[in-house]
Amino acid sequence: MPESMRKLVFMDSGIGGIPYLRWVRERRPGWEYIYIADNLFFPYGGRNTEELTARLTELTGQVNELYQPDIVVLACNTASVTALSHLRNTFSMPFVGVVPAVKPATEGHSVGKIGVLATRGTVEGSYLKELIRKFAGDRDVVDPLAAPDLVRFVEKEFIHADEAGIRGIVMPYLREAEKREWTYMVLGCTHFLFLRPWFEKWKHPGLTIVDSTEGVGKRILSLLEKDNMTEADDECCRGRTRFLLTAPKGAEEYAALVQREKMELHYLEEKQL
């Protein structure tokens, strides 16, 4: 592998982490990417802490054995808030996690409330509560809201949905945001990033949409780049991008996305990959 090339693994229960991979790949097309969609355990939002931590530990061990990645991106808010510390203590490679963008929202906040759309596990878990305490203090300005139907829609229906279908799933949350007087809407689940253009299109003028894509992407680059590496190093070629499912069942649901994103579809148990 050339010195300037890096091997990155992105892990999620489904396709939610694709926007993070896309952000990095657009800037470093010559690197090698492995995306793990753990469809066998989808969705992570309904799993308890012990079950999810054990699953992610098992997956990371497999990934490390097969690919020896330079970095693992835990591209799922629920997985990150549940197991990131344990994985960092268990494995030697660096990890990057994703968390709801509460900090930038509170920094820009002036009036109204900050809404956080997330999975039920994130909304009810201690990590989001700690983020709110840390960055909002005793101000009653952060309003979490679980949106499990958005996760399933993005995973199972979005790639084939028309605008009417997307509007039907997005508008109830925009109406709820207006009812609750949100001035910021934090997309606190990676799956929701696919819906951001439509949230932006149909939101009321006083609502600002916030997510963590750019912040996470910049963190990944800062950990992997060497002082003498520039973007031009990657212009000569495009690296390989694999999309791995953990179960063959339902693979046809992902075919259109895999083709659109110029990835190769495989299964994690295929050891030769």
Q: How far apart are alpha carbons 224 and 198 in whole angstroms?
A: 33
Name every residue whose Cβ is closer than 8 Å to that of residue 174 and which is 6 or more positions away in sequence: 199, 202, 203, 204, 207
As a dihedral over the C-alpha atoms of residue 22, residue 24, residue 25, residue 26, rounded to 10 degrees, the angle is: 80
Q: How far apart are alpha carbons 252 and 64 in whole angstroms?
A: 27
Catalytic one of 59, 98, 177, 189: 189
CA angle 209, 214, 218 (to 5 degrees): 160
One-character DSSP codes across 186-246: EE-SGGGGGGHHHHHHHS-TT-EEE-SHHHHHHHHHHHH--TT--GGGGTT----EEEEES
Catalytic one of 63, 76, 146, 245: 76
Q: Whose CA is closest to 174, among 195, 153, 151, 154?
A: 195
Structural contact between residues 196 and 209, judged by C-beta atoms closer than 8 angstroms: yes
- Whether 236 sits among the annotated catalytic residues: the reply is no
Whether residue 43 has a cis bond before it, omega within 30° of 0:
yes
As a whole number of angstroms, the longest Cα–Cα distance in the chain is 55
Name every residue whose Cβ is closer than 8 Å to that of residue 140 and which is 6 or more positions away in sequence: none
Q: How far apart are alpha carbons 126 and 128 in whole angstroms?
A: 6
Catalytic (active-site) positions: 76, 189
